[in-house]
Structure 1
Amino acid sequence: MIVSALLTSLGINFGLCILYFTLYSILRKQPGNIEVYAPRLVAEGKSRQESHFDLERLLPSTGWVRTAWQLSEEELLSASGLDAVVYMRIFIFSLRVFSVAGIIGICILLPVNYLGNELNDIDFSELPNKSVDLFSISNVKDGSKWLWVHFCSAYLITGVVCFLLYYEYNYISSKRLASFYASRPQSHDFSVLVRGIPVTSGSSFSNQVESFFTEYHSSTYLSHSVVRRTSKLQGLISDAEKLYKKLTHLKSRPGQKFQRNGFLGLFGRKVDAVDHTEKRLQDLEENVRIQQSDVSLIGEEVPAAFVSFKSRYGAAIAVHIQQAINPMQWITEQAPEPNDVYWPFLSSTFLRIWISKLLVIVASIFLTVIFLIPVVFVQGLANLDQLEILLPFLKRVLSITFVSQVVTGYLPSLILQMFLSFVSPIMKLFSSMQGYISHSQIERSASSKVLWFTIWNVFFANVLSGSVISQLKLFLDLKNIPSRLAAAVPAQLLNVYLPKFETGGKFWPIVHNSTIFTLILMQTIAIGIFGLKKLPLASSLTLPLPVLTLLFNEYCRKCFLPIFHAYSAESLIKKDREDHSDPAMGEFFDKLVNAYSDPCMRPLSYSDNADRHISPLLGPAQV
């Protein structure tokens, strides 16, 4: 890619940013868009539509940016929970890392690279037509003493990033503990999920659970709720939700509306669409109530149950101690928040979950391999010479300067982002098939999948795809990967969300691990680069860097990671003692008995709200 193409891409992206910033600034102030830009405030009754005209609404403004950043961590924690605070800390951490790396790269490394004269003599008049390789380490002469600047930068960046990682890990860990001590009693702190309940003739799963925990956890056992098979109910409720959305849409449209009452609304006699849909919704709700009654009386139980205890410490003991001699029976794990439970897989057998995980692994690998096709295509767009060879009929069009700059500078990133937009929902679908019991586990799993997918396809494959056709055999030689990377890398460069669940900052370890991996990758590339640039001493002196980074990571894992897996006995007992004298605990335990009832068994009342013209903006938050 030439410099002018890169500048064209930067100009287009900057122009689009200004356009989006302006449109957002104007559209967010329009009364009709309040449910789009501030649905949480509308749902909480803190904002309403204004009918009077105001010229200021049509003018862009920047005040919302200042307001967004003025929110303190305490206010954010109170309004949205610890996960929101951790999310903001991730942004802050990223800005700090990129600021340090940007300053070092632009102010130190870029001038050193450009003045290297390895690729060509400096001619400022021809700068726009030069390759961006002139600004990379490729332009530094082999064996040059200026390469030691890159060596020092590798150590400096590693040191700064590790310091920031330690600071954030320590800070978020302390916030997690402080949030736990300050929190009110939560259902999931007192409950566990039990699976692998053994089958005994003449005894139900519910009786089995009560008998087992009464005998082995007699001092702490409180109650249990056995999971029942409700797949048919889930289908009926899904149909009712679709009908309700259709009904609210019909009521929001002015004028008389008719439809035919036959197949797909295409056949039969004409009927009033609103009345017909209301009648269908009422009939469906009655069917749901009948099915709920049947499930509660004679519904099929599955070998899984939520068990609640009288103390957090009692629940922790049940989670961390093997319950039965047979490790495949009475398997326990910490229960998620009631609103976080992912019910479909609770009734799945161990074999089905195991097969699902295996199929998801295969599907993820297949998707990663298939995605190489658009990556190789995008790489071809970035290399104009290869594109002209591949598509000779475009040679005349590509000879136009502006067209070539757009094609090589902006179009590749646009196409790649379009393809990447499909990756996240696909990975979330894959994660939902792996047998996780909570939405938060699905989110974390999907995040990890997207991360590794991006690392492979957007970095490794994109960097190495330039030589896929001509040097495919090099990919099979693992010992050449560092040097291949070294040679190839210098050539590319509170108003909306209402929390549905809270993980207590468990997303941070994913960020930490991915940052450590990035550091190791950078250091491996540096080792290969110094070897290629005939500076073996620098290459040798860089070898301790990944070792030190891994030792630092192991220290952080020992020091902080256990806090994110489970709370200590000291913390749990201290919190239990604080709540022991709280008179509200009696009411809490009364509610805890029914906290983990299947949502499918809750009363359905869509038809009672049929006179509303809009559907609910947000789901309820966990209290």
Structure 2
Amino acid sequence: MLVSALLTSLGINSGLCVLFFILYSILRKQPINYEVYVPRLLAEGNSKRRSHFNLERLIPSTGWITRAWKLSEEDILSSSGLDAVVFMRVITFSLRVFSFAGIIGVFVLLPVNCKGTQLHEIDFADLSNNSLDVFTISNVNSGSKWLWIHFSAVYVVTIFVCCLLYYEYRYISLKRIAYFYSSKPQPHQFTILVRGIPVSVGSSVSESVESFFTEFHPTTYLSHMVVHRTSKLRSLINEAKTLYKRLLHLQLEPPQQKYRRVGLFGEKVDLVDHYGKRLEDIEQNVRLEQSDLSLADETRAAFVSFKSRYGAAVAFHLQQSINPTQWVTEEAPEPDDVYWPFFSSSFMRRWISKLVVVVACILLTILFLVPVVVVQGLTNLSQLEIWFPFLKSILTITFVSQVITGYLPSLILLLFLKIVPPIMEFLSSIQGYISHSDIEKSACNKVLWFTIWNIFFATVFSGSVLYQVSIFLEPKNIPAKLAVAVPAQFMNVYMPKYETAGKFWPIVHNSMIFSLVLMHAIAIGIFTLKKLSMASTLVFPLPVLTLLFNEYCRKRFLPIFIAYSAEVLIKKDREEANDPAMAEFFDKLVTAYQDPTLMPIQYSANADSLNSPLISSADV
């Protein structure tokens, strides 16, 4: 790709960046968009709609950026939890690494590359028509002493990143423990999930759980809640929710629009009355389904609660049965984090599901090679003329060729990548995970490895990787980074559904370790090709030292993210032993893990009370 193509892409994205900034600044002020931009403030009553017209709404402003950055880490922690803080630190960590590496690359390595003549000398008089290859290490002469600058950069970047990783891992670990000490009692801290429950003839799953834990955990066992198959109930409740939302919208429409024709030749009816009757029928069906649940609808899984955190931890860590596929225990997620729609309690079924998902991910990765190869062709004009000879006359136009080779490749690739996260999240959801957080962590890992293969390896193998530079230099990515980094996508918009207390950080740490080792492998290959064998040899200790550093972090910090220590749990239990509020907490704990679909639902046909919740089993 030529420098001119990159500059064209830069100019297009700069214009889009300004346009999107203006649109966002204006749209966020419109009362009709408050549910999109400040739903949390509306729900908390901290923001009100302003119906009167105000000219200020139509004028772009930048004050929201300044206000957003004034929020401290403690503000985010108190309002949105530790996960939000960790997410913020992931963004700042990434920016620090990118900034440090960028400074070295631009101010140290780039001048060195420009001095080389391996490919050809740079024509500074016609800089825009130079290939980007001349600005890379490919242009440094083989065996040149200047390559030792690149060698030093590999060591410097590795040391810098490892120091940052250690600092962040230690900081977040301490935050995680401090957050645990300061938090109120949570149901998941006292509860475990038990799968593979053996049931004798003539008894139920509930009776088996009661008998087992009363016998083997008599002093700490509190209660249990058996999981049922409720897919039909869930679909009925979702249908009721949809109808209720339609009723809400109808209340806001003019009276004449509430009368519409039902069917092709049907008569006009009052839609409020029509939907209300359908809602009554669905509610009745829900009640019948709830009352008809029998032993046949029980899964061989249950949430088991204990009288102390330590008691739950002991039951979780100990193997409960001689047969390791029975009485299998795992940590319970928060009640709101439980993923009820796909609850597989069978060990074999979960194993098969994981195998199917692995095969599906491999097939998706292979199929994605097609758009990657096509995108590669767009960066090469000669290849493009071979594929599409009828475009030859158009491609001779300088601006058109610059747009096609400089802007379209990254745009097409990013559009294709947009569909990957939802697919990976769906695949993770059928693997038998029982929490939204586990599904999202699994999806993150899948997207990470998918990106590494398709956007790095596949691109390298299918052609030049240099066009990817435009992706990192696109200004339109800057507002996206700012949008997720601004402490306000937490204060104004997001109301956390669950809290993992920073469990996502090890994924970031592992991906950075992999990236460092990959960088070392590439460096060894490049120095070998450049006939600087001494540099290749001296790079070999780096991946070894990096992996040793990672192993130290795994031993020192990772256990804190897997489970809390006995010291922490017992200390917390003792602090709350004489707290009178614990009695009320344990009363609520007994029903904390009841499937929301088994809760009673209610509705109101009275238009005046449509502001009150129709369904108490939210987020099923």
TM-score by length of 2: 0.93
1:35 to 2:32 alignment: no
CA displacement at 1:619 relative to structure 2: 11
1:118 offset after TM fit, Å?
2.1
How far off its partner does 1:618 sit? 13
CA distance in 2, matches of 1:613, 1:517: 53
Task: Give the counterpart letter for 1:284 in structure 2.
Answer: I
Check conservation: 1:2, 1:129, Cα contact below 8 A.
Answer: yes
| Gapped regions of structure 2 (runs ≥ 5) | 470-490
8 Å contact from structure 1 (residues 26, 59) kept in 2:
yes
Shift of 1:529: 0.6
What per-residue deviation string (whole Å, max 9, x for no partner) do you get for residues 310-339 of structure 1? 000000001000001111111111100000
Counterpart for residue 538 of structure 2 = 541
- Note closer, same or farther for the CA distance 1:500–1:142 as it changes in structure 2 (3 Å cut): same
Cα deviation, residue 621, structure 1: 11
How far did 1:6 drift? 0.5
Tell me if the contact between 1:2 and 1:132 (Cα under 8 Å) persists in the aligned partners: yes
Letter in 2 for 1:360: V
> How far off is 1:491 after superposition?
7.0
Instruction: Note closer, same or farther for the CA distance 1:278–1:42 as it changes in structure 2 (3 Å cut).
Output: same
Q: What does 1:557-596 align with in structure 2 at a 5 Å threshold?
A: 557-596=554-593
Deviations 1:338-376 (A, max 9, x none): 000011333542222222111111111111100000010
| Native 8 Å contact 2:233 2:289 kept in 1 | yes
Distance in 2 (alpha carbons) for counterparts of 1:615 and 1:29: 27
2: CA distance, partners of 1:606 / 1:373: 51
**SS of residue in 2 equivalent to 1:365:** helix
Deviation sequence 1:390-426 (CA, Å, 0-9, x none) = 1111111011000000000000111111111110101
Please give the residue correspondences for 1:169-180 in structure 2 after superposition, counting only pairs within 5 Å: 169-180=169-180
Tell me, yes or no, if the aligned pair for 1:248 and 1:615 is still in contact at 8 Å: no
SS at match of 2:341: helix
Secondary structure of 1:256's partner? helix
**Which residue in the other structure is 2:331 paired with?**
334
Change (3 A) 1:230 1:150: same
Does structure 2 retain, via aligned residues, the 8 Å contact 1:229–1:347?
Answer: no
Q: Which residue of 2 aligns with 1:2?
A: 2
In structure 2, relative to structure 1, the CA distance for the partners of 1:381 and 1:246 (3 Å cut) is same
Range that drifts further, 177-186 or 284-293? 284-293
Q: Distance in 2 between matches of 1:315 and 1:391?
A: 65
The 2-side partners of 1:498 and 1:374 are apart by 37
Contact 2:194 2:302 in 1 (8 A): yes
Contact 2:603 2:615 survives alignment (8 Å): no
In 1, Cα distance between equivalents of 2:265 and 2:437: 45
Aligned 8 A contact 1:8 1:409 in 2: yes
Aligned residues: 597
- Counterpart amino acid of residue 29 in structure 1: K
Report % sequence identity. Answer: 68
Give the conservation status (yes or no) of the 8 Å contact 1:205–1:303. Answer: yes
Give yes or no for the alignment of 1:448 onto 2:449.
no
> Cα distance 1:302–1:67, how it changes in 2: closer, same or farther (>3 A)?
same
In the TM superposition, residue 14 of structure 1 has moved relative to its aligned partner by: 1.5
Once the two structures are superposed, residues 160-189 of structure 1 have per-residue CA deviations (whole angstroms, 9 ceiling, x without a partner) of: 000001000000000000000100000000
- 3-state DSSP class of the match of 1:453? helix
Aligned twin of 1:107: 107
Contact map agreement 2:600 2:616 (CA 8 A) in 1: no
Equivalent in the alignment of 1:132 = 132
Contact 1:40 1:617 in 2 (8 A): no
Q: Superposition pairs for residues 285-324 of structure 1, below 5 Å? A: 285-295=283-293, 300-324=297-321
Q: 1:611 deviation in Å?
A: 5.1
Aligned to 1:63: 63
Matched, 1:168 2:165: no
Aligned-residue CA RMSD (Å): 2.0
Match of 2:154 in 1: 154
Q: Distance in 1 between matches of 2:208 and 2:266?
A: 54
User: Which structure 1 residue ranges, 5 or more long, are not aligned?
Assistant: 467-487
In structure 2, C-alpha distance between the alignment counterparts of 1:113 and 1:492, rounded to whole Å: 18
Deviations 1:422-453 (A, max 9, x none): 10101000000000010000000001101111
**Deviates most, 284-293 or 326-335:** 284-293
Q: Give the secondary-structure state (helix, strand or coil) at the position aligned to 2:292.
A: helix
Aligned to 2:454: 457
Match of 1:474 in 2: none
Equivalent residue number for residue 217 of structure 2: 217
- In the other structure, the counterpart of 2:476 is none
After superposition, the C-alpha distances for 1:41-84 in whole angstroms (9 at most, x for unaligned) are 11111111112332222211111111111111111000000000
Provide the secondary structure at the position in 2 that maps to 1:227.
strand
Report if the CA contact (8 A) 1:197-1:208 is conserved: yes
Distance in 2 (CA, whole Å) between partners of 1:30 and 1:138 is 52
Other-structure match for 1:266: 264
Cα distance in 2 for residues equivalent to 1:343 and 1:620:
12
**Aligned counterparts of 1:194 and 1:72: Cα–Cα separation in 2:** 40
Please tell me the residue identity of whatever aligns with 1:31. Answer: P
- Counterpart position of 1:350: 347
Is contact 2:378-2:408 (8 Å) kept? yes
Cα distance between partner residues in 1 of 2:496 and 2:216: 36
Distance 1:9 1:333, change over 3 A: same
SS in 2 for 1:495: coil
Contact in 2 for aligned 1:318/1:332 (Cα 8 Å): yes
* Counterpart position of 1:282: 280
Alpha-carbon separation, structure 1, partners of 2:183 and 2:585: 14
Q: Distance in 2 between matches of 1:314 and 1:174?
A: 24
Deviation for aligned residue 1:248? 2.3
Residue 383 of structure 1: CA displacement? 1.2
1:310–1:608: structure 2 CA closer, same or farther, 3 Å change rule?
farther
Q: Alpha-carbon deviation of 1:274?
A: 1.9
Match for residue 383 of structure 1 among 367, 380, 383: 380
Q: 1:621 to 1:71 in 2, by over 3 A?
A: farther
1:477 is aligned to: none
The answer (yes or no) to whether the contact 1:382–1:409 under 8 Å persists in 2 is yes
Deviates more, 1:82-91 or 1:598-607: 598-607
For residue 527 of structure 1, give the secondary structure of its aligned residue in structure 2.
Answer: helix
The structure-2 alpha-carbon separation of the partners of 1:119 and 1:305, relative to structure 1 and needing over 3 Å to count, comes to same
- Distance of aligned partners of 1:456 and 1:385 in 2 relative to their CA distance in 1, 3 Å threshold: same
Within-5 A mapping of 1:496-511: 496-511=493-508
Paired residue secondary structure (2:207): helix
SS in 1 for 2:234: helix
| Helix, strand or coil at the partner of 1:540 | helix
User: What amino acid does structure 2 have at the position aligned with 1:287?
Assistant: N
Contact 1:244-1:610 at 8 Å conserved across structures: no
325-334 or 603-612: which moved more? 603-612
Match of 1:183 in 2: 183
Query: Is 2:392 the counterpart of 1:395?
Result: yes
Distance 1:39 1:535, change over 3 A: same
Q: Which amino acid aligns with 2:285?
A: N
Contact 1:424 1:446 survives alignment (8 Å): yes
**1:205, 1:226 within 8 Å by CA — same for their partners in 2?**
yes
Post-superposition shift, 1:30? 1.6
Identify the range of structure 1 (127-136 vs 281-290) with the bigger mean alpha-carbon deviation. Answer: 281-290
270-279 or 408-417: bigger deviation: 270-279
Secondary structure of the residue that 2:155 maps to in structure 1?
A: helix
Give 3-state SS (helix, strand or coil) of 1:165's partner: helix
| SS of 1:249 mapped into structure 2 | helix
Does the CA-based 8 Å contact 1:190-1:312 persist in structure 2? yes
Question: Is the contact between residue 300 and residue 345 of structure 2 (CA under 8 Å) also seen in structure 1?
Answer: no
Shift of 1:9: 0.7
**Which sits farther off after the overlay, 443-452 or 612-621?**
612-621
User: Does structure 1 conserve the Cα–Cα contact (< 8 Å) formed by 2:602 and 2:616?
Assistant: no
Quote the offset at 1:294 in angstroms. Answer: 2.4
1:554-600: per-residue Cα shift (whole Å, max 9, x none)? 11111100000000000000000001011100000000000000000
User: Aligned pair in 2 of structure 1 residues 17, 621: CA closer, same or farther (>3 Å)?
Assistant: farther
Structure 1 residue identity aligned to 2:460: V
Cα deviation digits, residues 280-329 of structure 1 (max 9, x gap): 0111112212221222x666222111110000000000100000111111
Letter matched to residue 161 of structure 1 = V
Structure 2 SS opposite 1:345: coil
